[in-house]
Chain A
Amino acid sequence: VNCDDVESSLDLYVDRELEAAAAAEVRAHLGECPACRGRVAERETLGRLVRLAPYYSAPDRLRARVLAGGARTR
C-alpha cells in the first residue's frame, strides 16, 4: 500500500466502508506516513465541522399536521 492507494480510498477509510483487511493496510501505512495521516485528519475534522452545522428538528406544528394526517393547509 502506497500513498496513491491510500489517497484513492481516503473516503472509504474515513467512512469505515473498507473491508477489515484493507483498513488494516491503510492503518499500517498511516503509521509511517505523516502526509497521509494529515489527509485523514483533515477529512475527520471536516466531518466534525459538518456535524456542528445546525440540526433542523421538525417544528411542532409539522408534527401536529402529520399526526392529524390531513393534507397541507398552507
Chain B
Amino acid sequence: MARRVFEETVLPHLDAAFNYARWLTRNDADAEDVVQDACVRALRFFPSLKEGDARPWLFAIVRNTWYSRLSRRAAAVEATMADDSRRGPADRALDPEAELLRSHAVAAVRAALDALPADFREVMVLREIEGLSYKEIGAVVGVPIGTVMSRLNRGRERLLALLREAPKEALP
C-alpha cells in the first residue's frame, strides 16, 4: 500500500528528478545511478514527506545522494567533469540545417550552464527550468533565501558574461 502511494506521489516527478540530477552530475550514467539511489532513499524516507509538493522534496534527496557520492570520490569525479564541460557543444554537429541557428543557441547556453560552478548551475536549473520559488530552492539546497538570491544573481551575471563571449549570430 505504502509502495503504491509512493509510486503515485513520487514517480510523476521522475523526469524532473533526472533532469536536475543530469545538470548536477553532467553525465547520464551518474544521473541514472543518483536518481535510482535517491528513489530507494525516498521510499525509505517517504513517511517524512508532509503535505505539499513532492517535487522539491525529491530534489533535496537527489541532491543529498549526489553530494554524498561525490564526497566519496571527489578528486576523480572532478577531473571527469572538467572534461565533460569542454565537450558540450560538439555533440550537436548533426542537427538539421533548419535548426542550425536554434541549435547554436541551445549549444551555447548548454555549454555556458555546464561551465557555471555547481552552486550557481543548480539554482539556475531549479529556478529557470523547474520554476521553483526562492523558498523551495532554499529548502532543496539547504541554504537561506538570501543565499539563493545571491547565487541566482551571480549565476545570471556569469551566464550573461559567458553568452556575450559566444558568437553574436549564435543567439536568437
Q: List A residues at the B interface (Cβ < 8 Å).
A: 10-12, 15, 17, 42-43, 46-47, 49-59, 61-63, 65-67, 69, 71-72, 74
Contact = CB atoms under 8 A, between A and B. Distances in A.
A71 B33 CA distance: 10
Nearest to A10: B153
Contacts of A57: 15, 18-19
The prevalent SS among residues of B at the interface is helix
A56 B160 contact: no
B109 A17 contact: no
Nearest to A49: B109
A55 B113 CA distance: 13
Interface of B: 3, 7, 11, 14-15, 17-19, 22-23, 28-29, 31-33, 35-37, 39-40, 43, 102, 105-106, 108-110, 113, 124-125, 127-129, 133-134, 149, 152-153, 156, 159-160, 163, 171-172
A46 B156 contact: yes
The prevalent SS among residues of A at the interface is helix
A52 B95 CA distance: 15
B18 A69 contact: no
A63 B102 contact: no
A55 B33 CA distance: 18
Nearest to A68: B36
Contacts of A55: 15, 19, 129
Given A53-B129, A56-B19, A42 B160 contact: yes
A47 B14 contact: no
B36 A62 contact: yes
Given A42-B160, A53-B129, A72-B33, A62 B109 contact: no
B6 to A, nearest CB: 9
Contacts of B124: 50
Contact of A51 (B32, B39, B102, B128): B128
Contacts of A52: 102, 105-106, 109
Contact of B15 (A11, A42, A58, A69): A58
A34 B171 CA distance: 22
A49 B36 contact: no
A57 B15 CA distance: 5
Given A56-B23, A58-B14, A49 B105 contact: yes
